[in-house]
Amino acid sequence: AQSQSAKDWEAERGELKSELELQRKLHADIKLIADEALQQCTSLRAELEEERLQSKAKVDALAESQTVDAQSAKAWEAERGELKSELELQRKLHADIKPVADAALQQCTSLRAELEEMRLQSKAKVDALAAAQAAEAQSAKTWEAERGELKSELELQRKLHADIKPVADEALQQC
């Protein structure tokens, strides 16, 4: 019985050793898998953290952009109100100025017509004056020529008188 027990124990011991060896191999395989999984988890954790930081930056930028957009919208709304008020004021000014501008334009048109009439009258006067001056100049030339002729005639008459006077004086004395 003891030898049977020793055989059983030896068989069990062999099985236990085989099982232990198998467990060691499984443990070594599982450790490699676990190390690989840990390394992948560490890598994924780093990627996840990077992604989280990028997402946070995007969210922060979007929130800031929305704040800026909201401020821009408020500023634009205020500016829009100012522009509407300015436009209304310009319309009122235009309504007030238009009749004055129309009257001024009418006056300018009338003054332009008067100025054109005066210009035509002045041109007619200048033309008439120029014609009168030309006629005067022609008359002066004619008169100058006539004056020359009269002077020559007068000179001739003086000479004749000078020639005739002694003869007339002699004739008078003889008579």
pTM of the model as a whole? 0.33
Q: Tens of pLDDT along 86-113?
A: 999 989 988 888 888 888 888 878 888 9
Is 48 buried (19+), middle (13-18) or exposed (0-12) by CB count in 10 A? exposed
Q: Tens of pLDDT along 18-57?
A: 999 999 998 988 888 888 888 888 888 999 999 999 999 9
Helix (H), strand (E), coil (C) string for 46-90: HHHHHHHHHHHHHHHHHHHHHHHHHHHHHHHHHHHHHHHHHHHHH
What are the tokens at 95?
């309504």
